[in-house]
Amino acid sequence: MELISYVALAAGIIIGLGACGACIGIGIMGSKYLESAARQPELMGELQTKMFLLVGLIDASFIIGLGIALWFTTTNPFLAQLAQVAGH
């Protein structure tokens, strides 16, 4: 396998695991929001604001991971060092 294929594999893992983690986190948070809104409907507006803020923060972590993965696939700063270590 070439070194660039390892970079592509790592980028796929970063994107895939980041997406899975973000989706699971948002799903759990959404279910807890609905559960708490059903128990105390008077707090629904306050909880909704906090939920949307947290959804943005969770998505931001995935988007940062996506940006890092795309940066590694287009202009990898570590490829020269990897080539020296591997002896290519």
Q: Per-residue confidence at 74, pLDDT binned at 50, 70, 90?
A: confident
Name the nearest CA neighbour of 26 among 1, 60, 66: 60
Q: SS3 for 50?
A: helix
Query: Per-residue pLDDT tens for 35-44?
Result: 999 999 999 9
Catalytic positions: 59
Q: Are 58 and 26 in contact (CB under 8 A)?
A: yes
The mean pLDDT value of the chain amounts to 89
CATH second-level architecture of 22-72? Up-down Bundle (1.20)
pTM for the model stands at 0.75
Q: Per-residue confidence at 88, pLDDT binned at 50, 70, 90?
A: low
Rounded CA-CA distance 72/81 in Å is: 13
**Does the pLDDT at position 22 exceed 80?**
yes
| Per-residue pLDDT at 84 | 80
